[in-house]
Copies of this chain bind each other. A is one copy, B any other.
């Protein structure tokens, strides 16, 4: 499948000696010193880092570090093991990813294909660093498009009544393909708490409004009725509370009195695919930490 995607292969090779650390923990003196000394002692060089500590009253420490080391593949275990100790010492939540290994991203879609398309093109042109081992849909509309990229398309019809069976089948596939990230690219089915709990902070959704305005159904119809001058889209992680998950990215587009509901939908599609694209990209680049139902984007 990825044989067709030279951009990603090229990028992966070029960055085979790079890795990324994404950490959050209660702030304490000496964290940066401990991490950077460890990396230095193991021959790694920090390429880029961003760190942020919340207000002293609360004191949570967040850092994203991109580092390079020759022969990273051979050293992978050394870094993993060595870093475990530091993480234990500071009670860190952490993630260490190696750029030579691509993440596996699954895309869920229904009838509307604009978000799926944007992701596939961005992926093809090297903008999204991941493998896409499969696309799952409750409709057949996307089949031809997906398969033209050499990606397997799974058609799993869904409805409220068979939700449990559908999710079982989906979860089986996600496991089989070893999926790291699930993107709901206008997937019009509600996921059960069970499904969500299997992938905490790993399911990304796009909502077609500027949340918290127009939570729920028919946001464009309601936006038209209210006479707003901008409509938006919100990319967020999925939690059990519908439309209430941590927001990764939002943006808006201008509308005016000449725009009927259909025009709002058309303009909305443009801003939806733009915002989802950005949110997924940041997630794949290990830039996003979830903290208290908000995101830190480093």
Contacts and interface: CB of A to CB of B under 8 A. Distances in A.
Interface stretch (A103-111, A135-143, A252-260): A252-260
Interface stretch (A34-42, A176-184, A193-201): A34-42
A29 B33 contact: no
Contacts of A133: none
A65 B26 CA distance: 19
Interface stretch (A88-96, A120-128, A153-161, A166-174): A120-128
Given A39-B33, A228-B247, A250-B230, A49 B50 contact: yes
A115 to B, nearest CB: 12
B227 A295 contact: yes
A239 to B, nearest CB: 12
A80 interface: no
B32 A257 contact: no
A73 interface: no
Interface of A: 27, 29-33, 36-37, 39-40, 43-53, 55-56, 68, 114, 117, 121, 125-127, 148, 210-214, 226-230, 232, 246-252, 256-258, 260, 266, 269, 293-297
Complex A-B, nearest 9 residue pairs according to Cβ-Cβ distance, in ascending order:
A227-B294, A213-B213, A33-B36, A32-B36, A33-B40, A229-B250, A49-B51, A257-B296, A30-B40
